[in-house]
Amino acid sequence: MTRQALTGARIFDGTRFHENSTLLIADGKIEAIVPAGEIAGDCQQIDLAGGTLAPGFIDAQVNGGGGRMLNDEPSPQSMYMIAEGHRPFGTTSLLPTLITDAEGAVEKAISSAAEAVLAGRGVAGLHLEGPHLAPSRKGTHLAKYMRPLEAADVELLSSAVPEVGTLVVTLAGEQVTPAQVNQLTNAGVIVCLGHTDTDAGRAQQLFDAGARGVTHLFNAMSGLGHRQPGLVGAALDHPDAWGGIIADGHHVDPLVLRVALRAKRGPGRLFFVTDSMSLVGQERDHFTLNGRTIWRKQGGYCSRLALDDGTLAGSDLDMASAVRFGVSYLDLSLGEALRMASAYPADFLRLNDRGRLLQGMRADLVHLGEDLQVRQTWLGGAVSEQTS
């Protein structure tokens, strides 16, 4: 048995902090958290020399990273490149995300994800954001490929779950029926509402039918009004609805996010997603998606990505930056910010083997310095990236 003892850092187990403690890892899984100096048996001891050791971050919406967009080539290799591009920023599990594309792209992405998940390289499933979205809320997606969900789509997505494991599908309320949502959720698909003008009443029906949450709360959806609550109001009020938020200072004003965090009725919660594009981990100032140039614009908390007409096109955010944003701008304690990057996404995605440092769980870890910059990550107990 290969055993490691990580000591010298404050340990956050997903619920609380442990001071003067040691994390024991055996064969890639969490063995225990014990008081410092009480290490039983032979093991490799590693002194982290300060900072915070926490569960690795989990990102449910990642369009690209490391110089690659999934839509450019929905292959296992693209998925590995994206995962490796985000690992220096503390993300140890992610869902590569395919946005609306031409016929055949979904099938290829499903096949690739089935292979990539088995490889154990940080790909935890697949997120299909389209093509069943509303053209009125297209954002950077191409409306010409958008269409209603059909029986054949329900069969394809349902049959993909045993292969992919964790499958998130973003659907517009205009393009789907409650019966279809119920079929998908009964098959194990995680249904999210997004890119939609659906009203609160329709959204509540879809949540009651099994829709689990919303994709990037506030963005590309009907907003919260005092007489028309919209999808935003329904998501905040429905107890079972979860919601990803893009905490980059561009997609949603921090004041609005603070209000949403206080307003969210549980047990469903809000959690961080990046919605990131290929430039994460890169120094280039632009890339091309579906024949259109997307530019990196400097300024603000982090740079933003936009089309020539100014339309936001995903984000330039990484999860470690989202955690720092949460602490600095959203009035979150460090513990809650870390939960929004690990424990809550794990709960939303039903990834029961990660997101917390409990006995038997995967030893997917991130070590943060006092400045909350990533020092190191571990994937299944193996050191994955040294960044400082």
Mean pLDDT of 155-167: 97
Beta-bridge partners for 18: 11
Tens digits of per-residue pLDDT, 329-380? 999 999 999 999 999 999 999 999 999 999 999 999 999 999 999 999 999 9
- Of 153, 197, 248, 275, the catalytic one is 275
Tens digits of per-residue pLDDT, 239-287? 999 999 999 999 999 999 999 999 999 999 999 999 999 999 888 889 9
Q: Which of 226, 232, 241, 250 is nearest to 348 (CA)?
A: 241
Please give the pLDDT value at position 281. Answer: 84
Query: Catalytic: 275?
Result: yes
Please give the pLDDT value at position 156. Answer: 98
Kindly list the distances between the CA atom of residue 139 and the CA atoms of 52, 84, 100, 127, 134, in Å, as whole numbers in the listed order.
37, 27, 11, 17, 10
Q: How far apart are CA 42 and CA 373, in angstroms?
A: 31
Q: What is the pTM of this model?
A: 0.96
Contacts of 299 (CB under 8 A, 6+ apart): none
DSSP code, position 221: B
